[in-house]
């Protein structure tokens, strides 16, 4: 008679009524070009391992529910290389053809500035995970766009305060920054903060090579001749590595104190070749400067187990974006009586949200609840540690978010010019 046929298993009912089979997220980061290896790929790697563990329900509380509200995350990765015009086209493709539910992306400030208005046009939830220009939410309001990390003001105001504590008699500064919104904004915030805190400081050089120039002999010659006591740079990715490699043999780091506001990324990549005496930041409490917490310990472990090296700050930034999305959706589900939320309900939950990350508590406190604030941590490179494969950091100092972020509704240049009203500093 043969085996008895069995009925097909019923289609499982989603844990959250009205939920999709998967939450489809476009993730945009540099996968090729000079920003990929030190920057974009570590971000992609963090997204992959984090999403895998979230979908499996392996994350610690408060992120131990599988996926997002029990719904698995499906990621579509897009290369950010190619410029702002290409990224606008890719964004439209993700939304209109791939039908993503939201987009997490963008390292370049130029790409963020170009994509944000298109997100509003297409009414697509978009979370900026790394770009740093303060112009995004200080120049206009957005409904569908959020940024889950602090903008560039924290590391540059923090660097000014830090260096003046290290060098209270500082007299001469110079800067070398990339010639676009990120570099210009970063230098202006650092320079103006130093001058506001110590008006007798002289600016003896302002250099703006093009993005991804990779060769800095002319600028190095000019800085060596000007003899600043401090050189500030917000270079990132391949540009930062090239600058350090070219500047070290020419003696810049013996003549001056360099401040690398994105310097966390070079620590594991250059190892013992990182010169001593450089001020290092990681755009927040990230990477080598991250807090010692169970959530950070877990994040570092799953990343190192997969990729051998530790996560650098772009990895932390994308983790903040993914965990912020999860926290916002699950808050919206709870507020919606346990049913899957609309985009408007997710936006309402995301605004002024506070959520935990491997970098500590993130608060969406600026930009009418769309822009995060966080502290900044800085330290100075010391001796090489064979146990970690990196130089140690000494004189580590944290400036709280209330010290290095302007009040909501105030633009960064105005806040600095007015003497940092409302700042609460240690």
pLDDT digits (tens, 9 = 90+) for 298-322: 999 999 999 999 999 999 999 999 9
Residues 144 and 50 in one domain: yes
- Read off the pLDDT of each residue in 361-385 and give the average, rounded to a whole number: 98
**Both 265 and 186 in a single domain?**
yes
Q: Is residue 3 part of a domain?
A: no
Are residues 276 and 303 both part of a single domain?
Answer: no
* Domain termination site, one of 342, 357, 373: 373
Domain count, the chain: 2
In a domain, residue 7? The reply is no
Residue 1: is its pLDDT beyond 50?
Answer: no
On whether residue 13 sits in a domain, the answer given is: no
CATH number of the domain at 365, please: 3.40.50.2300
265 and 384 in a single domain? The answer is yes
pLDDT at residue 14 greater than cutoff 70: no
d(CA 419, CA 410): 13
Same-domain status, 388 and 253: yes
Residue 208: pLDDT over 60: yes
For residue 200, is it within any domain? Answer: yes
> What local confidence, expressed as pLDDT, does residue 96 receive?
98
Q: Which long-range contacts (CB under 8 A, 24 or more apart) does 408-412 make?
A: 408/365, 408/366, 408/367, 408/368, 411/134, 411/138, 412/134, 412/138, 412/151, 412/153, 412/185, 412/189
Are residues 215 and 327 located together in one domain of the fold?
A: no
Give the range among 54-63, 77-86, 118-127, 177-186 with minimum mean pLDDT. Answer: 177-186
pTM to 2 decimals?
Answer: 0.93
> Sign (positive/negative) of CA torsion 50, 103, 33, 207?
negative
Place of tokens 């008006």: 199
Residue 198 counted as domain residue: yes
The average confidence (pLDDT) of the chain is 95
pLDDT value, residue 238? 87
Range of the domain at 125: 23-151+291-373
| Alpha helices in 83-216, H assignment, sequence order | 84-96, 109-122, 135-139, 153-166, 181-197
In the predicted structure, residue 250 carries a pLDDT above the cut 90: yes
| Range with lowest mean pLDDT among 46-55, 178-187, 225-234 | 178-187
Residue with token string 């963020």: 112
163 and 267 inside one domain: yes
Express each pLDDT in 61-95 by its tens digit: 999 999 999 999 999 999 999 999 999 999 999 99
**Pair 241, 386 in one domain:** yes
Tokens of 333: 């589900």
One domain for residues 267 and 311 = no
Note whether residue 10 is domain-resident.
no
212 and 336 assigned to the same domain: no
In a domain, 116, yes or no: yes
pLDDT value of position 181: 86
Question: Would 217 be classed as within a structural domain?
Answer: yes
Task: Identify whether residues 39 and 79 lie together within a single domain.
Answer: yes
Where is 74: in which H helix or E strand?
strand 73-79
Average pLDDT over residues 37-50: 95
Are 227 and 322 in a shared domain? no
pLDDT-derived band at 4 (thresholds 50, 70, 90) equals: very low
């Amino acid at each position: 008679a043969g085996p008895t046929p069995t009925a097909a298993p019923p289609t499982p009912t989603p844990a959250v009524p009205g939920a999709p089979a998967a939450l489809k997220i476009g993730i945009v980061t540099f996968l090729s070009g000079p920003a990929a290896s030190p920057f974009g790929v570590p971000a992609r790697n963090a997204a992959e391992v984090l999403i895998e563990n979230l979908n499996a329900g392996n994350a610690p509380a408060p992120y131990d529910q599988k996926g997002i509200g029990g719904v698995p995350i499906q990621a579509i990765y897009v290369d950010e290389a190619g410029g702002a015009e290409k990224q606008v086209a890719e964004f439209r493709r993700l939304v209109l053809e791939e039908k993503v539910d939201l987009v997490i992306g963008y390292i370049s400030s130029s790409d963020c500035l170009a994509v944000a208005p298109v997100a509003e046009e297409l009414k697509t939830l978009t979370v900026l995970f790394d770009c740093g220009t303060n112009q995004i939410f200080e120049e206009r309001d957005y409904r569908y766009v959020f940024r889950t990390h602090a903008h560039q003001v924290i590391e540059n105001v923090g660097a000014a305060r830090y260096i003046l504590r290290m060098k209270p008699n500082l007299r001469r500064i110079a800067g070398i920054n990339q010639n676009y919104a990120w570099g210009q904004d970063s230098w202006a915030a650092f320079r103006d903060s130093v001058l506001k805190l110590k008006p007798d400081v002289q600016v003896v050089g302002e250099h703006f090579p093009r993005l991804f120039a990779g060769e800095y002999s002319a600028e190095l010659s000019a800085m060596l001749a000007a003899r600043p006591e401090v050189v500030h740079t917000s270079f990132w990715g391949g540009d930062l590595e090239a600058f350090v490699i070219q500047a070290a043999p020419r003696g810049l780091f013996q003549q001056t104190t360099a401040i690398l506001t994105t310097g966390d990324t070079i620590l594991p990549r250059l190892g013992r070749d990182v010169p001593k005496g450089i001020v290092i930041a990681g755009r927040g409490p990230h990477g080598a400067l991250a807090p010692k917490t169970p959530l950070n310990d877990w994040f570092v472990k799953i990343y190192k187990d997969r990729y051998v090296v530790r996560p650098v700050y772009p990895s932390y930034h994308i983790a903040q974006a993914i965990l912020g999305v999860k926290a916002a959706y699950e808050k919206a589900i709870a507020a919606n009586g346990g049913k899957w939320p609309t985009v408007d309900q997710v936006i309402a939950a995301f605004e002024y949200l506070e959520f935990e990350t491997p970098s500590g508590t993130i608060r969406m406190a600026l930009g009418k609840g769309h822009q995060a604030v966080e502290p900044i941590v800085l330290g100075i490179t010391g001796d090489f540690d064979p146990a970690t494969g990196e130089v140690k950091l000494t004189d580590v100092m944290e400036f709280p978010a209330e010290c290095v972020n302007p009040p909501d509704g105030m633009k960064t240049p105005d806040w600095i010019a007015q003497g940092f009203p409302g700042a609460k500093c240690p």
